[in-house]
């Protein structure tokens, strides 16, 4: 099972039916290795719970975590019922105290596996995870920078005279803020990803799906400035095709980008806002929507699978409108009525 980033000992703990599922999802469906590993861990938790219920055991969480599922077979998959899945979600809520997002992910993992077992392998005739309502997730509005805060961040980077990578760092943050690109997409860029005019770039999104991202003038200027240095043999001697390089002239890592962005958010006085690299993506999306971009166009720019994922940005605007009314200068003015006229 070399397609997964799991150790040999970890792989052995999963039964063949789950290993086959994982290989299918990665090799055929194009699901990322990170995602399928999360699915496998969720399914391991579920089948541990299944075995506990099947054998009418009463175990602590520590004892449950130590249980092996290597003996799970197709007969066990057939024995799973809708009620058992619901009981597992309840168990995740009450015993494990999982938050809504985690419970939603666990149910998604279970649905994915049983869909595979029904339609691909025909292990079962009816999918027991159908018609189970997902846990309701409260809408959390994304954090983002205002235009003035984004400008301040860029000015802070540009004015850094102590960094040898300031041209690269400015190009990275400018690209985030102007395109809404994901961190993994940016780190994965190669020299050949861009067209000759640096007006378009091909990125590899989630699920190994390629899309074209358009580059505006501000991002193009920053990229061209960096590219001059990137292609200058006085500075760069590597044959690596990665677009953004580390100081060691290897492909820049996610961790390095995250550290760099955090450093400049702190220097710009924005470090207490709970912002991060991903919040720069939220900033790009929010500012584009505020500027009048159609929500369906924004969906394609961001590489979202579902429109409802993108619609979170419409709620940002609703909140802005609500706050605008609440912050109206007259909102706190109290007019004291005159005393009643004494007609006597």
328 confidence band (pLDDT: 50, 70, 90): very low
Give the three-class secondary structure for 99.
coil
Q: Which helix (H) or strand (E) holds 204?
A: strand 200-204
Better pLDDT: 28 or 195: 195
Is the pLDDT reported for residue 266 higher than 90? yes
CA dist., res. 282 & res. 285, Å (int): 5
Residue-range domain boundaries for the chain:
8-120, 147-326
Q: Mean pLDDT of all residues in the chain?
A: 84
Catalytic residues: 182, 206, 278, 281, 304, 313
Percent of the chain with pLDDT over 70: 85
Q: Do domains 8-120 and 147-326 have the same CATH topology?
A: no
Please tell me the predicted confidence (pLDDT) of residue 4.
44
Is the pLDDT reported for residue 212 higher than 70? yes
CA neighbours closer than 13 Å in the CB half-sphere of residue 48: 21
The angle at the Cα of 120, spanning 115 to 122, to the nearest 5 degrees, equals 90
- Residue 342 CA: distances (Å) to CA of 146, 272, 336, 338, 339: 55, 58, 18, 12, 9
Please check whether residue 223 is in contact with residue 243, taking contact to mean a CB–CB distance below 8 angstroms.
Answer: no
At residue 343, what are phi and psi to the nearest 5 degrees? -75, -10
Is the pLDDT reported for residue 50 higher than 80? yes
Percent of the chain with pLDDT over 90: 44
Please tell me the predicted confidence (pLDDT) of residue 2.
37
What's the pTM?
A: 0.58
The CATH T-level fold of domain 147-326 is hpI Integrase; Chain A (1.10.443)
Please tell me the predicted confidence (pLDDT) of residue 320.
56
State in words which class domain 8-120 has: mainly alpha
Better pLDDT: 323 or 221: 221
Better pLDDT: 344 or 278: 278
Residue-wise pLDDT for 113-163, tens only, equals 999 989 887 888 888 988 888 776 666 667 888 889 999 999 999 999 999
Is the pLDDT reported for residue 220 higher than 80? yes
Is the pLDDT reported for residue 105 higher than 80? yes
Report, as an integer, the average pLDDT of 154-176. 94
- Which of 128, 102, 117 shows the shortest CA–CA distance to 18? 117
- Give just the sign of the alpha carbon dihedral 218, 224, 230, 232: negative
């Amino acid at each position: 099972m070399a397609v997964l980033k799991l150790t040999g000992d970890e792989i052995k703990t999963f039964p063949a039916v789950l290993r086959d599922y994982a290989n299918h999802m990665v090799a055929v469906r194009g699901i990322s290795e990170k995602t399928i590993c999360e699915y496998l861990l969720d399914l391991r938790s579920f089948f541990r719970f299944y075995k506990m219920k099947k054998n009418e055991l009463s175990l602590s969480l520590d004892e449950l975590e130590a249980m092996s599922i290597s003996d799970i077979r197709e007969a066990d998959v057939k024995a799973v019922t809708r009620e058992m899945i619901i009981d597992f979600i309840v168990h995740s809520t009450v015993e494990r105290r999982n938050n809504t997002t985690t419970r939603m992910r666990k149910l998604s993992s279970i649905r994915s596996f049983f869909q595979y077992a029904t339609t691909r392998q025909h292990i079962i005739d009816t999918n027991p995870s159908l018609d189970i309502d997902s846990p309701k997730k409260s809408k959390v509005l994304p954090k983002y920078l205002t235009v003035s805060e984004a400008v301040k961040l860029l000015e802070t980077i540009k004015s850094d005279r102590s960094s040898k990578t300031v041209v690269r760092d400015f190009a990275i943050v400018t690209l985030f803020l102007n395109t809404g690109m994901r961190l993994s997409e940016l780190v994965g860029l190669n020299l050949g990803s861009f067209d000759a005019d640096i007006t378009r770039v091909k990125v590899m999104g989630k699920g190994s799906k390629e899309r074209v991202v358009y580059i505006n003038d501000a991002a193009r200027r920053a990229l061209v400035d960096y590219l001059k240095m990137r292609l200058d043999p006085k500075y760069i001697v590597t044959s690596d095709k990665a677009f953004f390089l580390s100081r060691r002239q290897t492909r820049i890592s996610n961790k390095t980008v995250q550290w760099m962005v955090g450093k400049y958010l702190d220097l710009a006085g924005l470090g207490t806002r709970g912002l991060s690299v991903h919040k720069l993506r939220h900033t790009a999306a929010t500012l584009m929507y505020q500027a009048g971009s159609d929500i369906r166009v924004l969906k394609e720019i961001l590489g979202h699978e579902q429109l409802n994922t993108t619609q979170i940005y419409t709620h940002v605007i609703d909140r802005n409108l609500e706050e605008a009314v609440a912050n109206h200068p007259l909102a706190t003015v109290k007019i004291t009525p005159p005393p009643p006229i004494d007609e006597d």
